[in-house]
Amino acid sequence: MEQMIRVLVAKPGLDGHDRGAKVIARALRDAGMEVIYTGLRQTPEQIVAAAIQEDVDCVAISILSGAHNTLLPKVAALLKEQGAEDILMLGGGVIPDEDIPFLLDNGIKAVFTPGTPTSKIVECIKENVTK
Amino acid sequence: MKWTEPRQIARLISAVEDGRPGHEEQLKELFYQTGQAHVIGVTGPPGAGKSSLTDKLAKYYVDQGKRVGIIAVDPTSPFSGGSILGDRIRMNDLTTNPNVFIRSMGTRGHLGGLASSTHLVKQILDGAGADIIFIETVGVGQSEVEIVQAADTVLMVMVPGLGDDIQSMKAGIMEIGDVFAINKADLPGADRAKIDIQNMLTFQPEKDWLPLVQMVSVKENTGIEELAKAIEMHRSFLNEEDRLAIRRKRNTRNELIDLLYDKLYRRLVTQGNFERYLEQIVEKTLDPYSAIDKLLEDLRSENEND
Ligand SMILES: Nc1nc2c(ncn2[C@@H]2O[C@H](COP(=O)(O)OP(=O)(O)OP(=O)(O)O)[C@@H](O)[C@H]2O)c(=O)[nH]1
Ligand SMILES: [Mg+2]
């Protein structure tokens, strides 16, 4: 039977546009995944509630605002609180290299900075989601 | 299955959607808890405002202390099998409300038809304690029509300026609407659209319910309460005599056929001797009619051995 990979793509924070998130959403769709796209300005609470209701395998968060060090670990912590720490968490966007180890220590499986080919993200999800 | 355990609800939905075996016992138990929810099918042309309107109506019901389930169906890409499900964009305020559960579904390439799968999701939300269930689909294609038709009340969302499109949609789709919303009434042409639709509806003399037509604007937040009242009037209409029972029996018949088809397809086509007989038919050592008899015979002896 077909075991569909489902991914929530979210763009939290108050800043700007969601072009990057949309590019990722399309790449994942073209790789045969179901992408739940929630649009701009999501709070961590909204992201987590949506991830649970949609029973996603992965939450991919795109951030441009520089608030990654608070937002990403917050989402990871809330997922854990719900007993959903098995959901794969990925971060992307403008994230300085020196912040990445901190994020990896705080529940984020991988961080993708601008210029990463979308195929890498697809690969990462397929590798880490075992269905 | 409890409303207060969204993760459990969500996981059962995935299992059913993926067609994973081993959940029949749970579904059997759940079945006896179903039938309480008022199911509202929401359909109409792409971009008409179905999700935005569902969001507003859901808020209306939540404010009345009701639990609301929302199933939002979007098309799966025929090329990749993947999809982008974007209906939640219009419903973000509801996401964290404990009385709301929203689930997005792709149409996928379902065996027993999409209708069968959405029906099961509907049952899960119903059994988990939803008072109101919305099912949103785009009003194109046969399977979408089947889905919304399986509702107690069908809400058609239209917009000004459809013009001749209304005529072309007429065949098969307009007939299933119980309540019509003309959304985007803030745009020019809403009055015209209302007249067009009302004219069209009066030519369905065989119906004992004349569909209500309500202008709304999600943007300006007008007409929402009136629309909810229209939906409730339809519900009251169903509650008179045995109309609801008749409608649900019709729907249950279709759902039962879908489930049966699903199960038989699984057992007869994807398992057993199907491929072997197929080979023989291609080699002309067996004819298709005898092959079908053999498949049914296989099924019978399989059951005896159970
Ligand atoms: N002017 C105006 N725009 C509206 C109104 N309601 C919704 N819209 C806009 O119409 C667009 C589509 O709204 P949705 O709610 O996503 O429509 P939909 O029918 O669910 O769309 P699909 O699911 O993609 O078919 C959005 O840009 C909305 O902001 C309204 O009352 N007036
Ligand atoms: Mg929609």
Assign residue A21 the CATH number of its domain: 3.40.50.280
Cα(B91) to centroid(ligand 2), Å? 10
- A53 closest CB neighbour out of B21, B82, B103: B103
- A34 closest CB neighbour out of B7, B83, B109: B83
Record: contact B92-A42, CB cut-off 8 A: yes
B250, part of any domain: no
Shared domain for B174 and B30, answered yes or no, is yes
Residue nearest to atom 12 of ligand 1 (CA): B47
Shared domain for B144 and B282, answered yes or no, is no
Q: Is residue B182 within 6 Å of ligand 1 at its C-beta? A: no
B20, part of any domain: yes
User: Which ligand 1 atom lies nearest to the CA of residue B187?
Assistant: 1
B221-228 contacts at long range (C-beta below 8 A, 24 or more positions apart) = B221/B56, B222/B185, B222/B186, B223/B181, B223/B185, B224/B53, B224/B56, B224/B57, B224/B60, B225/B60, B227/B53, B227/B57, B227/B155, B227/B179, B227/B181, B228/B57, B228/B60, B228/B61
Q: Greatest CA span in chain B, whole angstroms?
A: 70
Q: What is the pLDDT of residues A99-120, one digit of tens each?
A: 999 999 999 999 998 889 999 9
Number of domains composing chain B: 2
- CA gyration radius, chain B: 21
Residue nearest to atom 1 of ligand 1 (CA): B184
A63, part of any domain: yes
Shared domain for B155 and B291, answered yes or no, is no
A79, part of any domain: yes
Number of domains composing chain A: 1
A1, part of any domain: no
Shared domain for B228 and B144, answered yes or no, is yes
Q: Check if the interface score ipTM surpasses 0.85.
A: yes
B161, part of any domain: yes
Domain span holding position A39: 6-128
Contact present, A8 and A58 (Cβ < 8 Å): yes
Distance of CA A116 to the CA centre of its chain: 15
Nearest-angstrom CA–CA distance, B11 and A23: 28
CATH value at residue B91 = 3.40.50.300
B106 touches chain A (CB under 8 A): yes
Shared domain for B21 and B160, answered yes or no, is yes
Asked whether the predicted pLDDT for residue B215 surpasses 60, the reply is yes
pTM for the model: 0.93
* Minimal C-alpha gap between A98 and chain B (Å): 33
pLDDT for residue B156: 92
Cα(A38) to centroid(ligand 1), Å? 15
Contact present, B193 and B184 (Cβ < 8 Å): no
Q: What is the pLDDT of residues A20-49, one digit of tens each?
A: 889 999 999 999 999 999 988 889 999 999
Confidence of residue A1 (pLDDT cuts 50, 70, 90): very low
Distance of CA B68 to the CA centre of its chain: 15
A vs B: CB pairs below 8 A: 94
Structure tokens at B180: 């019509």
Domain span holding position B31: 6-241
Contact present, B280 and B286 (Cβ < 8 Å): yes
pLDDT for residue A16: 67
Of residues A122 and B204, more confidently modeled = A122
Nearest-angstrom CA–CA distance, A4 and A56: 10
Which segments within A1-131 are labelled E, that is strand? 6-12, 34-42, 58-63, 88-93, 110-112
* Minimal C-alpha gap between A116 and chain B (Å): 21
Segment B36-61 shows an average pLDDT of 95
Cα(A116) to centroid(ligand 2), Å? 31
Record: contact A83-B7, CB cut-off 8 A: yes
